[in-house]
Amino acid sequence: MDETALKDQARTRLNTGLRDLWYPVVASWEVAEAPTGVTRLGEKIVLWRDGQGKVNAVEDRCPHRGARLSMGWNLGDRVACWYHGVEVDAAGRMAAVPAIGRCEAEKRARNRTYHVIERAGAIWLWFGNDGSEPAELTLPEEVNGGEWEAILCTAHWSCNYRYAAENVMDPMHGAYLHSVSHSMAEGDKTATMRARATDHGFVFEKTNQSGINFDWTEFGATGAYWQRLSIPYRRAAGPGGSFGIVGLVTPVDSTNCRVFFWRCRKVQGWQRDAWKFLYRARLETLHWDVLEQDRLILEGMDDDAREHEALYAHDAGLVKLRRLMEAEALKQVTPKVEA
Ligand code: FES
Ligand SMILES: [Fe+2]
């Protein structure tokens, strides 16, 4: 393949989502009794729980005539299409054709299937590259239970997923975009920024200020691409000190994404209950307000905004993330040469 064709493929891959990664696709509560249909990385997927509560995920297309299986019925170990009742099981096989009693297509694998993990209150799917086996998924400690309480907020944003990821790689916007918010009114409006390598990625931080505003952000790759930051809280905002945010963004298609933000605090015992109550009663609305500010800015940007930028030093963090993702996209579309 010539270099231009390869670069085109890499650009498309980048636009619709890198593979060889786990992605959160919905919050756990979104998959209940009925089958749930989603589009992620441009693929239509039906999710449903079997009798034991285990989530299955297969391509959301009926092998008979192509209706969306998610519009049908949950039969436990399989889903039934609403249109003519064809049943598809968790292995993606056409397991029954009730209208004729049987058919030759039965038991043959027809639909794409996905590896599923349920963790931190979300359902995660493995999006492999050419059928690659899933990597181990290690999440930041804030969302692994233990000493941390993490509350998941998720929302649909009508912008390419990279704008959402780049937004988190840009701490300086906190002092401007969120300047009137409850937690980001403090501190300098200017800063010198630097990047520093970590075991699984890098930190991008202000050199003149820490622990006052949104002052640092971290990117990590541990089976999924995650980002983490912390924002100091006033005493009135309850127990547990600084407030951690772990964020992941999952592409829906090239112009839409689903963001997942876990709001985390290190609290135990009665403090955990106090914090959860305070969060639900008072803080959640404030946090949605902050997220809305991000959403409005990003949805207002043109899809090709990154072609016409005048970047400065504060953008070094997001440029670093871009380079890393561009290199990964190129690697993923380059044909493997057998040794
Ligand atoms: S399209 Fe699904 S059963 Fe016919
Ligand atoms: Fe923001």
164 CB less than 6 Å from ligand 1?
Answer: no
Q: Are 171 and 231 in the same domain?
A: yes
Expressed in angstroms and rounded, the spacing between residue 17 Cα and the centre of ligand 1 is 30
Q: Are 115 and 155 in the same domain?
A: no
Final residue before a domain boundary, out of 98, 127, 156: 127
CATH code for the domain in which residue 300 is found: 3.90.380.10
Instruction: List, for residues 291-322, the tens digit of each pLDDT value.
Output: 999 999 999 999 999 999 999 989 999 999 99
What is the per-residue pLDDT for 243?
A: 80
Q: Residue 191 above 90 pLDDT?
A: no
Instruction: List, for residues 126-168, the tens digit of each pLDDT value.
Output: 999 988 899 999 999 999 888 888 999 999 999 999 999 999 9
Measured from the alpha carbon of residue 87, the closest ligand is 1
Domain-located, residue 69: yes
CATH code for the domain in which residue 104 is found: 2.102.10.10
Expressed in angstroms and rounded, the spacing between residue 309 Cα and the centre of ligand 2 is 19
Q: Are 96 and 151 in the same domain?
A: no
Residue 197 is encoded by which pair of tokens? Answer: 């390598």
Instruction: Please compute the mean of the pLDDT values over residues 11-40 and round it to a whole number.
Output: 97
Domain-located, residue 303: yes
Q: Residue 338 above 70 pLDDT?
A: no
Domain-located, residue 19: no
Q: Are 261 and 163 in the same domain?
A: yes
Domain-located, residue 335: no
Contacts 24+ apart (CB under 8 A), 244-248: 244/142, 244/148, 246/139, 246/140, 246/142, 246/143, 246/150, 247/168, 248/23, 248/24, 248/224
Domain-located, residue 5: no
What is the per-residue pLDDT for 26?
A: 98
Q: In what order do the strands lie in the sheet with 94-96?
A: 73-74, 78-80, 87-89, 94-96
Residues 6+ apart with CB under 8 A from 167: 173, 294, 297, 298
Q: Residue 107 above 80 pLDDT?
A: no
184 CB less than 6 Å from ligand 1?
Answer: no
What is the per-residue pLDDT for 6?
A: 94
Question: Which of 46, 59, 64 to mutate for ligand 1's pocket (most ligand atoms within 8 Å of CB)?
Answer: 64
What residue's CA is closest to ligand 1, atom 3? Answer: 84
Q: Residue 209 above 80 pLDDT?
A: no
Between residues 81 and 214, the one the model is more confident about: 81
Q: Are 75 and 172 in the same domain?
A: no
46 CB less than 6 Å from ligand 1?
Answer: no
pLDDT band of residue 189 (cuts 50, 70, 90) is: confident
How much is the mean pLDDT over the chain? 91
What residue's CA is closest to ligand 1, atom 4? Answer: 84
Place of tokens 């800063």: 191
Domain-located, residue 165: yes
d(CA 140, CA 186): 27
**Which residue range forms the structural domain that includes residue 253?**
141-329
What is the per-residue pLDDT for 269?
A: 84
69 CB less than 6 Å from ligand 1?
Answer: no
Q: Are 123 and 187 in the same domain?
A: no
Q: Are 174 and 308 in the same domain?
A: yes
Between residues 53 and 231, the one the model is more confident about: 53
The number of folded domains in the chain is 2
Q: Please, which residues have CB less than 5 A from ligand 2, an ion?
A: 294
Portion of the chain with pLDDT greater than 70, in percent = 93
Q: Residue 184 above 90 pLDDT?
A: no
Q: Are 123 and 146 in the same domain?
A: no
Q: At CA 286, angle to CA 281 and CA 289, rounded to 5? A: 140
What is the per-residue pLDDT for 295?
A: 97
Measured from the alpha carbon of residue 213, the closest ligand is 2
Q: Are 167 and 44 in the same domain?
A: no
Domain-located, residue 224: yes
Domain-located, residue 21: no
Q: Are 37 and 177 in the same domain?
A: no
